């Protein structure tokens, strides 16, 4: 596609439910990143993928968070047993390769946990 695509754009969920967020990177981009932006805050790094592997999971806030990427393309970020503090905008970015200076962001998924 022309840009990084994320879905859904908005998600409201009840506390305790699981949610799945999807990111479709720019075609041909091997590196994919997930960030979280809480209200009025900067971007908090969550996890990155090079191809299908995620060598660094240290940014995930808790074991309720997991992410996978299959086929070197689409990635899903799953949050289990959502809590109100999980409410944020989840941003996905991709770049041609890991360490490439140009990373392009999607529009984000706004998650609200009620």
Q: Which residues are at the interface with another protein (CB under 8 A)?
A: 4, 31, 33, 35, 41-43, 45, 48, 50, 55-56, 59, 91, 93, 98-99, 101-108
Reported as type and span, the H/E element at residue 111 is strand 109-113
The helix/strand/coil state of 36 is strand
Handedness of CA 10, 42, 32, 52 (dihedral sign): negative
- Take residue 44 and report the two structure tokens written for it: 């908090």
Complex with another protein: residue 96 or 103, whichever CB lies closer: 103
If the CB atoms of residues 16 and 28 are measured against another protein, the closer one turns out to be 28
Residue 81 CB, shortest distance to another protein, in Å, is: 26
């Amino acid at each position: 596609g022309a840009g990084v695509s994320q879905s859904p754009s908005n998600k409201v969920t009840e506390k305790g439910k699981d949610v799945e967020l999807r990111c479709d990177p720019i075609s041909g981009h091997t590196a994919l990143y997930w960030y979280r932006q809480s209200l009025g805050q900067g971007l908090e790094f969550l996890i990155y993928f090079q191809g299908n592997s995620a060598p660094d999971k240290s940014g995930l806030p808790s074991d309720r968070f997991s992410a996978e990427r299959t086929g070197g393309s689409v990635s899903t970020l799953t949050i289990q047993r959502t809590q109100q503090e999980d409410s944020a905008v989840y941003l996905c970015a991709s770049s041609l390769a890991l360490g490439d200076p140009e990373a392009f962001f999607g529009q984000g998924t706004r998650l609200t946990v009620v």
